[in-house]
Structures are given as C-alpha cells and as structure tokens.
Amino acid sequence: MTDDNSMDEKKKLKNKLEVARRDRAEALERAKIADEKALSTIAKLKATRDILQATERNAAQFEAEAVELERKLNVIMRSQATIPGSSDESQNKKLEQILSLEDPPEVQEIIKAYHNSMDKKSYDHVWRERRDLIMSYLERGEDRLSRALARIRRAEERNRAMGLDLRRWIVDDEALDLPWRPAAAAYRSAVVEAVMDAVTPQTSKIIETGSGWGEHLCNIYLEGGPAGATYYALELEKEGRICSLLLASLDPLFNLRAGFFDYRQPDYSMVEKDDGHTILLTAHSIEQVKDIHQDCLRVALTLSSRVTGVHFEPVGWQTHDRNDWRPWTQQHYERCQEKSYNTNLVSLLRAMEAEELIRIRIMKPNFIGLDYNPATLIVWEKVVSAPSG
C-alpha cells in the first residue's frame, strides 16, 4: 500500500513538473515575442526620429538657400534700379504718374455718398497735406523710405504737440500713465509685430483695408516683411492711396499696389488670388464704419488657400458682457456711440467661427491705445479643410 501511494505521489510530481516546464516554455516564448515587438517598435521609432531629423536639416538648408537667393535678388534689383543716367528720369516719371492718379466718376460718387450718408468728414484733405509733405522731402533729395517715413512721423508729432508728457493709456485692459510719444511708437510696433507673427514662408500678400497714408504697410516692409510678397494699400480716399504709392516708390523692392476700397461695398477684384497665404490687416479703420459689410471678411477668405486676419480696432466693448466692463470700457462705449463707430466686427467674426469658416486665435480687449479709444487685438485664421482620401 505504501509503495502504491509512493508511485501516485511520483506521478503527481512528474505531472506538475511537466506542467511547470510547459508553462515556463510558453512564458519564455511570450517574452521572446514581446521582446521582438519591443525591438521592432524601437527600430521604428529610431527610423522616425532619423526621418524627422533629416527633415529638419533639409528645412533649415532650404530656408538658408531661400535667404541667400533673396539676398542675391535684392542685389540684382538694386543694381538695376540705380543704372547711371536712367534712375532719376525713371523716378520722376513714376512720381508724375502717381500724382496724376484720378478716380473714375463712379468711384468719386461712391466716396461722396459715403461721406454724406455717414456724416463723416473726409480725410482727403489730411492725406493731401501728408502727400505735399512727402513730396517736399522727395524734392529735397530724400531717397530712402526709412528716412522719409521717420521725417514725416516727426513732423506729425510736432504738429500734434506729441511730447514726453504723460497720458492715460490702456494696455492689456489696464490703465497706465505713459509718455505720449514713446507709447504711440509702442502702438505702431504692436501692429508690426502682430503681422510679423502671422507671416509664414508661404505669405504671398499683405492687405491693409482702410490703409490711410500707408504707414503700417511701410513699417511692416521695413521691419522685415516678406520681400517677395505683394502689399495692397486699399483705401477709400484717393490722396491716401497716392501717399502710399509715393512712399513705396522709394524702394524698388517694395511691391505695393493701391486701390479703392469701401467697407460698405467691399471689392477685392484688384487682388490676385493664389494658393499661398494672405494676411488681412485693419488698424483703426473699421472703427469709422458703423456696420461693415460681411463680405469685407468673407470674400477675403477666397483670396488664398490660407488667410490670417489681424485687427487693431476699438471694439473692446463688443467682446464681452456689459457686466464685465472696466470703467474705461463704459466711457469708450459711450464715445463710440456718439461718433457712430463700428458695432458689428466681433459679431461678424463670431458668426464666421460658428460656421467653421475661421478660428479666432487671439482676442485681447482694450489691448493698447489712449484711454478714450483703445484698440482691441483680434487674430483669426481661415479654417482649412483636410484633403479627402
């Protein structure tokens, strides 16, 4: 009986041992498979890393080559623009053509109706004085855009008695006392930097609607705006367009075109469409029109495959509920009502975002400006549909 029990115990132990060996073998096989998968995943990750590093190197090399090509192009174009005996004559002829610009009768009627219907004073006389100032510098031999722009700005500051005295400014929705002239320079810089942040290698055109005398477009170009892009100065008043063209004539690489534009009846027909990237800029110009036409924004989306909007407009009170207004927001709202300033920019943009036409990336109420009319910064991007398949 004892021998039989002993045999049973041995069989049981043997069976357990075989099961344990089989389990161990299966566990080792699973571990081997897991190791192989892990090694395969690591290899794939390394390959992906190598591809990304190579792509980054290629992108950096491409950018360096593009910069070098742009430099060579600049040298060639500048040399062609200063051929002895021809540049002065060519420049004088160009200035004569610019100064002789006249709007067709139908455009003149639209401008007249604009001022009558909106009870707005024309800026034409202001830009005419600016044009005469520009011409006075050109006639005295000023031939550099940066210097001409600086001298015009200094003259304007003198006329407005803009000094270093403290004025109440709103910066990022906070009230600050800042020296007037340096703070105004900070505003101009903010416009430039907001646009430059939106620039990509594909940026083919920068459009400013309500461009006035062209100061912002000139600043953007001089501060490193894309040399190969076309700059569009779209402005209601003829004299403002003339100012932009006169300034742009000082730099043969500054490809600026000027055309008539009315926020109530927007027309972008002079703007060439492409598959690149368009930046649409407005700065204290939409403010002048109580209700802009929605096509000012919607049609702009059709001008390029990618479109970015940058607005510096006094619409802070449009951005949030009245209960959340700061004291200066209430005062600003009352001033906007008194002057029939814009009421619908933010609502138009939010409607477009609800339709998934655009995405609003930045909305900073009362971002920068004198306390009675601070600009709100808004940046949006066209929604680009993913390619099918």
The tens place of each residue's pLDDT in the chain, 389 residues long, gives: 556 666 777 777 777 777 777 877 777 788 778 777 777 777 777 777 777 676 666 655 666 566 556 655 554 554 444 433 345 677 788 888 898 889 999 999 988 888 887 777 788 889 999 999 999 999 999 999 999 999 999 999 999 999 999 999 999 999 999 999 999 999 999 999 999 999 999 999 999 999 999 999 999 999 999 999 999 999 999 999 999 999 999 999 999 999 999 999 999 999 999 999 999 999 999 999 999 999 999 999 999 999 999 999 999 999 989 988 999 999 999 999 999 999 999 999 999 999 999 999 999 999 999 999 999 999 999 998 765 54
Beta bridge partners of 224: none
Contact 319, 290 (CB under 8 A): no
Beta bridge partners of 166: 179
d(Cα 229, Cα 280) in Å, to the nearest integer?
13
Residue ranges per structural domain of the chain:
119-382
pLDDT at 233: 98
| 24 exposure class (CB count in 10 Å sphere: 0-12, 13-18, 19+) | exposed
**Cα 275 from chain centroid (whole Å):** 17
d(Cα 203, Cα 342) in Å, to the nearest integer?
29
pLDDT at 365: 96
pLDDT at 295: 97
pLDDT at 79: 47
Q: Which amino acid is at 146?
A: S
Q: If DSSP codes are grouped into helix, strand and coil, which group holds residue 206? A: strand
Hey, what CATH topology would domain 119-382 get? Rossmann fold (3.40.50)
Q: If DSSP codes are grouped into helix, strand and coil, which group holds residue 307? A: strand
Q: If we measure between CA atoms, which residue out of 288, 286, 291 comes closest to residue 343?
A: 291
Helices first, then strands: H and E counts in the chain: 12, 9
Q: Is the pTM of this model over 0.85?
A: no
Q: If DSSP codes are grouped into helix, strand and coil, which group holds residue 158? A: helix
- Angle subtended by helix axes 238-248 and 124-139, to nearest 10: 20
Contact 249, 224 (CB under 8 A): no
